[in-house]
Amino acid sequence: MSHHNAKDTLSITDNRTGRQYEVDVREGDVIRAMDLRQIKVNESDFGMMAYDPGFTNTAFTTSRITEVKGGKGILEYRGYPIEQLAEQSSFLEVAYLILNGELPDRRELDDFVHEVTYHTYVHENVLTILQGFRYDAHAMGMMISTVAALSTFYPEAKNIEDPANRRVQIIRVLAKMPTLAAFAYRHHKGLPYVYPENGLSYTANFLNMLFRIGGREYQPHPALERALDILFILHADHEQNCSTTAMRVIGSSRGDPYCTMSGAMAALYGPLHGGANEAVLRMLTEIGTTDNIPAFMDSVRRGERRLMGFGHRVYKAYDPRATIIKRAADEVFEVTGRNPLLDIALELERIALQEEYFVKRNLYPNVDFYSGLIYQAMGFPVELFPVLFAIPRTVGWLAQWEEMVVDPEQRIARPRQVFRGHPRRDYVPMESR
Ligand code: SDX
């Protein structure tokens, strides 16, 4: 809290009544919405509210986890720049940082990795649940249901006030997401499940559960293992995005973290959010060749289509994650061969970065624009792309959920509304309708 002195106030004149109000300005440029309620025309009025569809200008929480400085394209986890973490850290080390607020020392990291490694198995009943889905069930539908189902195996997770209990559940979810995702993928392919291997890294184990066939020892290519680790670091958290907001809102009724997170995953699934990486690939595939780009861009300018993978509520500059992903793509394509859709993506970006329609709307590539090209080159089906976003974002959702659970300022989320419906009227008997 900055030092508070007399001038840190807003003077508000209500011209309907001529009344003057003084409202405190806090933490630099924030007023408390409740300070508006005193503004009334009649004493019986409810009082002034702020109307903000989509929460474009509403801070509904304080947080110490992630800061996004949209105008400058800056992203920092607990103060550390994303570029340095992507370059020098690992996903599980970043997960520790996001959850605990500090980088671990060697013993802390080894203990954390050990805990996660030894919680990767799911109860065998979960396999029966997965068997209930059709082969062509979307992996996100399977994941959302199965994560909620996990709550039935750990009823003690409801005891969210106990820090030790929260920690056990957080480790469980973090550890089991890759297992559930791999099992969903193997179900889709009609292949037997490959169980977690404790001797492999987080991402190598995930790739092994996805792609190992038969007894052949599967060795994920180190460049692909590293690229996936970097992608996981980049997707770990992003302050109050739609799905994290869902996590905090659902969690505010004090339920268990599994059911709460299934709601966050449902929010992520939408094509405007984490479903965008899948939508990007479908868009690039539909465009097919660079010759078709002018016609497609015309349809975007006419407002008929969205340029998926572009634009962002906060970033009004290049998403720093897209820059790093683009570099990682080169390393992946060295191993897998160049994804032909890259040429279409690069041409779309070239046009968007120079044309008035896109520049005016700050439509820069976001995290979802290039990630799908890497996932496709690595052999992932498009249905799995949102799942590849959900796995790393699990640590962001859980860290933000825990921050909400222990925040004394937080209460159950229950916004107000501006009522525009019918005024009071009497019931009309059927014969009179
Ligand atoms: C993620 O919040 C996060 O941090 C999210 C995320 C995270 O890490 O959690 O960063 C991950 O979800 C990235 C975003 C992925 N989504 C997409 O790529 C889908 C395409 N992008 C958009 O739909 C849109 O840009 C959003 C949803 C990302 C942001 O929406 P806003 O802030 O509500 O912006 P808007 O829809 O009000 O658009 C402002 C204007 C509009 O034009 P006008 O009505 O003023 O004429 O820009 C236009 C929009 O039509 N616009 C686009 C566009 N995005 C916005 N026009 C064409 N193509 C686009 N991609």
Query: What digits encode the pLDDT tens for the residues 265-274?
Result: 999 999 999 9
pLDDT at 397: 98
Q: Which tokens is 121 given? A: 């198995």
Question: pLDDT tier at 317 (50, 70, 90 boundaries)?
Answer: confident
Cα separation of 251 and 254, whole Å?
A: 5
- What is the DSSP secondary structure assignment for residue 74, as one 8-state letter? E
4 is catalytic: no
Average pLDDT score over the chain:
95
Instruction: Tell me, yes or no, if the pTM score tops 0.85.
Output: yes
69, 247, 282, 361: residue to mutate for ligand 1 pocket, most atoms within 8 A of CB:
361
In this structure, the residue with its CA closest to atom 31 of ligand 1 is: 313
Give the pLDDT confidence of 326-350 residue by residue, as tens digits.
999 999 999 999 989 999 999 999 9
Q: Which of 285, 403, 408, 268 shows the shortest CA–CA distance to 344?
A: 285
User: pLDDT-based confidence at 1, cuts 50/70/90?
Assistant: very low
Q: Does the beta carbon of 352 sit less than 6 angstroms from any atom of ligand 1?
A: no
> What is the DSSP-derived secondary structure letter of residue 218?
P
Per-residue model confidence (pLDDT) at position 73:
92
User: What are the structural domain ranges in the chain?
Assistant: 1-50, 62-408
pLDDT at 110: 98
Residue 220: pLDDT over 90: no
- Residue whose CB lies within 8 A of the most ligand 1 atoms, among 313, 360, 393, for a mutation test: 313
**pLDDT score at 219:** 84
- Tell me what percent of the residues of the chain surpass a pLDDT of 90: 92
312 is catalytic: yes
pLDDT value for 4: 55
Q: What is the pLDDT of residues 39-96, one digit of tens each?
A: 999 999 999 999 999 999 999 999 999 999 999 999 999 999 999 999 999 999 999 9
In angstroms, the Cα distances linking 412 to 52, 148, 237, 407 are 19, 21, 23, 12
Cα gap 278→269, rounded to integer Å: 10
Averaged pLDDT, 234-238: 98
Whole-angstrom distance, CA of residue 151 vs CA of residue 404: 20
Phi, psi of 223 (to 5 degrees): -65, -35
Does 368 sit in the ligand 1 pocket, CB within 6 Å? yes
Exposed/middle/buried for residue 371 (C-beta within 10 Å: 0-12, 13-18, 19+): buried
372-391 pLDDT tens trace: 999 999 999 999 999 999 99
DSSP state of 290: G
- Using one digit for the tens of pLDDT, what is the confidence trace for 25-34? 998 799 999 9
**Mean pLDDT (whole number) for 142-165:** 98
Tell me what the mean pLDDT of segment 403-408 comes to: 98
pLDDT number for residue 3: 54
In sequence order, the 6+-apart residues with CB closer than 8 A to the CB of 257 are 157, 160, 166, 169, 170, 173, 251, 398, 401
**236-264 average pLDDT score:** 98
What are the two backbone dihedrals, phi and then psi, of residue 42, each rounded to the nearest 5 degrees?
-115, 150
In DSSP terms, 23 is beta-bridged to 10
Lowest mean pLDDT among 96-100, 354-358, 422-426: 354-358
Q: What is d(CA 178, CA 433) in angstroms, rounded to the nearest whole number?
A: 58
8 A C-beta contact, residue 99 and residue 399: yes
**Ligand 1 binding pocket includes 306 (Cβ within 6 Å):** yes
The 3-state secondary structure of 224-267 reads HHHHHHHHHHHCCCCCCCHHHHHHHHHHCCCCCHHHHHHHHHHH
For residue 15, the model assigns a pLDDT of 98
Separation CA 196–CA 205 (nearest Å): 6
Owner of token pair 């970065």:
353
Q: Closest by alpha carbon to 245, among 256, 234, 260?
A: 260
| Helix 385-405 vs helix 222-234: crossing angle, to nearest 10 | 40
Q: Is the pLDDT of residue 116 over 60?
A: yes
Predicted local confidence at residue 214, as pLDDT:
77
Q: Is the pLDDT of residue 193 over 70?
A: yes
From the candidate CATH numbers 1.10.287.3510, 3.40.190.10, 3.40.50.300, 1.10.580.10, the one assigned to the domain spanning 62-408: 1.10.580.10
26 residue type, one letter: R
Distance 280 CA to ligand 1 centre (A): 13
| CB-based contacts of 343, cutoff 8 Å, min separation 6 | 290
pLDDT in the model for residue 351 = 94
* CA distances for 118 relative to 66, 176, 198, 217, 328, angstroms: 28, 10, 7, 21, 29
* Total Cβ atoms within 10 A of residue 200: 19
Given the residues 8, 273, 343, 407, select the one marked as catalytic.
Answer: 273
418: tokens are 């501006």
Q: What is the pLDDT of residue 5?
A: 63
Strand partners, 75: 68
Q: Which of 191, 187, 212 is nearest to 136 (CA)?
A: 187
